Amino acid sequence: MSDATIKGLPPPPVKYDGSNQRILIVHARWNDTIIQSLVSGCVAKLKEQGVKEENIVIKTVPGSYELPFATQRLIAGSQTQSSVNAPSLLGASTANLVNLLTADEPSTPQPSSAATTTTTASTGPFSAAISIGCLIKGSTMHFEYICDAVSHGLMRVQLDTGVPVIFGVLTALTDDQALERAGLGRKGNKGHNHGEDWALAAVELAAQSAEWS
Ligand code: DLZ
């Protein structure tokens, strides 16, 4: 038997189709180098799975502690909007479906083209959400409290809203652990970008939960 690790996720049994999915990414801005790499890897893999660029909505919060609240509000908002404005996603012009990497901008609805519906970009329920953060242990108990709150908070959001929420939060004991999990390792091993795995999990859960419900 080789020394290779047995840990990890094998390739999915089928390739899930994300072409009709609308995916929310909410990311913290703490530990920005790592976050940027995780988000880029995640977006690239979502597109590989067929998710359209205009159906990837990215929002930011200051730190990981804010992730559960923001994720919950954004999911709930998308569900409310879609019930008010039912024929949203499929009939809407892609130009009107917000807003890749305009994270810090409020998502301003664009005027619809005459050829499409009057639906605006920001309507349509999210098929799944990916909450991304990076917690790195310091010298106090802060790390433990935030890890605990965020993991429980995000679990609660997905069970309460019925929308899959992918746990994209690195909980690293050292900078190097975090860098390796963002594909940025600096000790001769670049590691693996976990943002890619989170994208695959989101598309799979979105596809499966549509069938399970
Ligand atoms: C305060 C803080 C610390 C010390 N470390 C991190 C971290 O490693 N990763 C992260 O995402 N956020 C950190 N924060 C900020 C908190 O998550 C939060 O934004 C503040 O406590 C305000 O609620």
Tens of pLDDT, residues 157-176: 999 999 999 999 999 999 99
Task: Specify the number of domains making up the chain.
Answer: 1
Asked, for residue 36, whether it belongs to a domain, the answer is yes
CA-28 nearest atom, ligand 1 = 11
Asked, for residue 15, whether it belongs to a domain, the answer is no
Give me the domain span that covers residue 73: 23-106+118-212
CA distance 202 to 46: 8
CA distance 66 to 33: 19
Q: Is the CB of 8 under 6 A from ligand 1?
A: no
ipTM above 0.95, yes or no: yes
For residue 167, give Cα distances in angstroms to 3, 137, 178.
Answer: 29, 18, 15
Q: Is the CB of 147 under 6 A from ligand 1?
A: no
Burial pattern 125-147, b for ≥16 Cβ within 10 A else e, equals bbbbbbbbbbbbbeeeeebeebb
> 136 C-alpha vs ligand 1 centroid, how far in Å?
9
CB 18 within 8 A of CB 62: no
Asked, for residue 147, whether it belongs to a domain, the answer is yes
Output the pLDDT for position 12: 79
The band of 10, judged by pLDDT with boundaries at 50, 70 and 90, is confident
Asked, for residue 3, whether it belongs to a domain, the answer is no
**Considering only CA atoms, which of 16, 9, 37, 38 is closest in space to residue 168?**
38
Q: Which residues pair with 172 in a beta bridge?
A: 136
Active-site residue (options: 27, 142, 152, 192): 142
- Residue 135 sits in a domain whose CATH number is 3.40.50.960
Q: What is the pLDDT of residues 55-79, one digit of tens each?
A: 999 999 999 999 999 999 999 999 9
**Considering only CA atoms, which of 118, 147, 152, 136 is closest in space to residue 33?**
136
Asked, for residue 89, whether it belongs to a domain, the answer is yes
Asked, for residue 14, whether it belongs to a domain, the answer is no
Output the pLDDT for position 8: 84
Residue nearest to atom 7 of ligand 1 (CA): 135
Average pLDDT rounded to a whole number, residues 132-159:
97
Asked, for residue 197, whether it belongs to a domain, the answer is yes
Can you give the pTM of this predicted structure? 0.83
Asked, for residue 6, whether it belongs to a domain, the answer is no
Mean pLDDT of the chain: 84
